[in-house]
A and B are shown apart, each in its own frame.
Chain A
Amino acid sequence: MTNVTPGPLYPFKESPSQTAGPYVHIGLTPNFCGIEGVYDQDLGIAMVSDKTRGERITVEGRVFDGAGTPLKDVLVEIWQADTDGLYNSPAEQRGTADPAFTGWGRCAADQTTGHFRFETIKPGRVPFTDGRLQAPHINIWIVARGINLGLNTRIYFEDEADANAADPVFERFEHKDRVATLIARGGNGKYSHDIHLQGPQETVFFDI
């Protein structure tokens, strides 16, 4: 019998990514860029309400390119657990997350300064694949002109030193000095976190 070249094991490949481009705001934050009257409000601008449980925090920062220039056209989305470490997602099977917390936020950077800012809550701890608890963290996804495939990284918190020291994701880092690039500075509910796409301070990005 002659050899037959087998067909693909799975019928489809993932649609290849393309850059979000400089006008990403038209689609994802139209009110922000002056296209009003199509949607009542931009998605993802309000994560918390008066009823949300947990410690209120703000996280602010900028995204810098390899020359140290802030990206003024970047769009950032975050995804995080509620104060008990539960995700407000149909895929969450451990319990019911706080219905007054979306867990998901979207922010177009300020077009003059490049600052992004989220008003959210400090997330609870979530188990890793092996059941060990991860340190509190916020998942971030970054798209912009010049970024061909959205970049995934995380924000951890400076005032969670014990949890950070035992975080299972950080164990994967061969170069431990890079852990610091994921830790937001501050406390008492106010954190700042800059992201560097390239260069000596380059933030750790994940293949998740």
Chain B
Amino acid sequence: MKSNQTPIANFFPRDRSWHPKAYTPDYKTSVLRSPSRALIAFGNSLSETTGPAFGHDMIGPLDNDLVLNFASPGMSAIGERVIVHGRVLDERGQPVPNVLIEFWQANAGGRYRHKKDGYLAPLDPNFGGCGRTLSGDDGAFAFRTIRPGPYPWPNGPNDWRPAHIHFSVFGHGFAQRLITQMYFEGDPLIPRCPIVRTINDPKAIDQLTARLDMNASAPMDALAYRFDIVLRGSRSTLFENRLEGN
């Protein structure tokens, strides 16, 4: 590409019927926090196709181990030890390498280490609840944690969140930025949750449901769940003289 040319690498448009809509009144907080005017669309410029990159040098050795990264020496978090692993892919099925993935969660009893969480279940002195890692060259990532507990929240009179882990993912462009939640296969709270049900398509909910993966478990140590993350694909710029593809 000539240096004076504007690169054009539009991302696939977001399918906003697949994602949750902004206004989902059964999730009550969305009522006053949802724009009522239409979004304005335009083609991706460099402001959208570029994004920050993060280096391996910022990742500490325990950043992807929530069992140990907040624990006192010789201690570990209490709960069901699990490995969560998967790949970051784009909609074309291509791996998305070297992107930052951050995650956070409640402890085994459903209690968050956050001053706004007043749930009566106790904090675990050896569990903080945050972690991060970078995807590898093949898009793969893994971390170790304890399975979070469900917890009640003031929405309906008796609403409980299913066990879940929050994920924040960077792509290669700022327009790929995504936050989502991972659920656990077989959890009967999933179909009852108003936040899960902000998503209309059962296949989309299924995509957020991690599968038990016995093959990735560590015998006598930790079970494993597999969770792949898909970011927006980008269009090939077929007529921009880039024969090597992109």
Which residues of A does B touch, CB under 8 Å?
10-28, 30, 33-35, 37-40, 43, 65-67, 69, 71, 73, 77, 79, 81, 87-95, 102-104, 111, 126-131, 134, 137, 139, 141, 143-152, 154, 168-169, 172-173, 178, 197-199, 202-208
Q: Which of B54, B104, B113 has the most CB of A within 10 A?
A: B104
Q: Shortest beta-carbon distance, A28 to chain B, in Å?
A: 6
Q: Which of B52, B91, B178 contacts A102 (CB 8 A)?
A: B52
Q: Shortest beta-carbon distance, B143 to chain A, in Å?
A: 12
**Chain A positions within 8 Å of B91 at CB level:** 10-14
A154 vs B47: C-alpha distance when bound (angstroms): 10
Tell me if B35 and A205 are in contact (CB < 8 A).
yes
| A-B residue pairs in contact (CB < 8 Å), sample of 6 | A12-B90, A14-B15, A16-B199, A38-B62, A87-B46, A111-B116
- Rounded to whole Å, the gap between the CB of B140 and the closest CB of chain A is 16
Which secondary structure characterizes the binding site on chain A?
A: loop
Whether B32 pairs with A149 at a CB distance below 8 angstroms is: no
State whether B102 touches A27 (Cβ < 8 A): yes
Which 8 A-B pairs rank lowest in CB-CB distance, beginning with the nearest?
A: A27-B104, A146-B29, A146-B33, A89-B50, A104-B52, A148-B20, A87-B50, A207-B39
Check if A33 sits within 8 Å of B15, measured CB to CB: no
Beta-carbon contact of B180 and A206 below 8 Å? no
Report how far A204 CA is from B35 CA in the complex, Å. 9
B63 at the A/B interface (Cβ < 8 Å)? yes
- B184 contacts the other chain (CB 8 A): no
Q: Quick check: is B158 within 8 A (CB to CB) of the other chain?
A: no
Q: Work out how many contacts link A and B, with CB atoms closer than 8 A.
A: 286
> Which interface residue of A25, A73, A131, A168 has the most chain B CB atoms within 10 A?
A25
Q: Answer yes or no: B109 CB below 8 A from chain A CBs.
A: no
Task: Provide the residues of chain A in CB contact with B44, threshold 8 Å.
Answer: 129, 208
Contact of B36 among A131, A146, A198 (CB under 8 A): A198
- Given A23-B117, A35-B129, answer yes or no on A18-B20 (Cβ-Cβ < 8 Å): yes
Residues of B within 8 A of A141 (CB): 174, 177
Q: Choose, from B75-83, B165-173, B218-226, the stretch at the interface.
A: B165-173
List, in ascending order, chain B residues with CB within 8 A of A13's CB: 15, 18, 91, 203-204, 207, 230
* B35 closest partner in A (C-beta): A205
Contact with A along B17-58 (1 / 0, CB 8 A): 011111010010111111111011111111111111110001
4 new A-B pairs (CB below 8 Å) besides A30-B128, A148-B22?
A16-B208, A27-B103, A94-B7, A204-B37
Complex CA gap A111/B115 in Å reads 10
